[in-house]
Amino acid sequence: LGAHLDHLGTRAPVNNDSIYNGADDDGSGIVSLMAVAKAFASGQKPKRSVLFVWHSGEEEGLFGSRYMADYPTMPIDRMVAMINVDMVGRNRCDDPAQANTVYVVGSERISTELHNLNEAANASLSRPLRLDYEYNDVADPESIYTRSDHYSYAFKGVPVVFFTTGLHRDYHYVTDEVDRIEFAKMARIAELI
């Protein structure tokens, strides 16, 4: 399971603020994976080993995930899947109608089994999320499939699933602040993961 630590750092000030905190991109993914790790640590142990990776260099070209895929801490052919969590703390375009939606990318591109497992896991939740596959379209003009850390693993043949809640006006902007995070939604996505 992975998320990325980096954001854009500092840039020219906007309203006297030059720090691009990246609360959603990707503070939301980092915190979600910490919640998942805590659940694994305190709950029933999984039958397989689970590796948590917080990549760096995603914003600059997937550097951390490419390095991990090229020089993994375990044989890459033993990785059965890679779950990537990036920007899961908001609603797409801040639209309240998106409150129950999570976008799923890549889950069936290498393995239909992973796709089916994700669908079943979601259906088993007391309040299932609406899984939207719009960004999974190979013709997606945003090319979301190739833009985040999961792609480094998919390139090596590892089945991937990428969770995101979509883009919004604060994407890669100084206003991506924690006061805009939808924590209850983020918790539900972590529960699915």
The helix or strand, by DSSP H or E, that contains position 34, with its residue range, turns out to be helix 29-42
Per-residue pLDDT tens digits for 131-141? 999 999 999 99
Instruction: Give the Å distances, CA to CA, from 111 to 19, 47, 108, 120, 158.
Output: 40, 20, 5, 15, 9
Name the E strands within 114-159. Answer: 130-132
In tens, the pLDDT along 66-106 reads 999 999 999 999 999 999 999 999 999 999 999 999 999 99
* pTM, 2 dp: 0.94
What are phi and psi for residue 83, nearest 5 degrees? -105, 120
Asked whether 7 and 174 are in contact (CB, 8 A), the reply is no
CA dihedral 73, 164, 26, 49 (to 10 degrees): -20
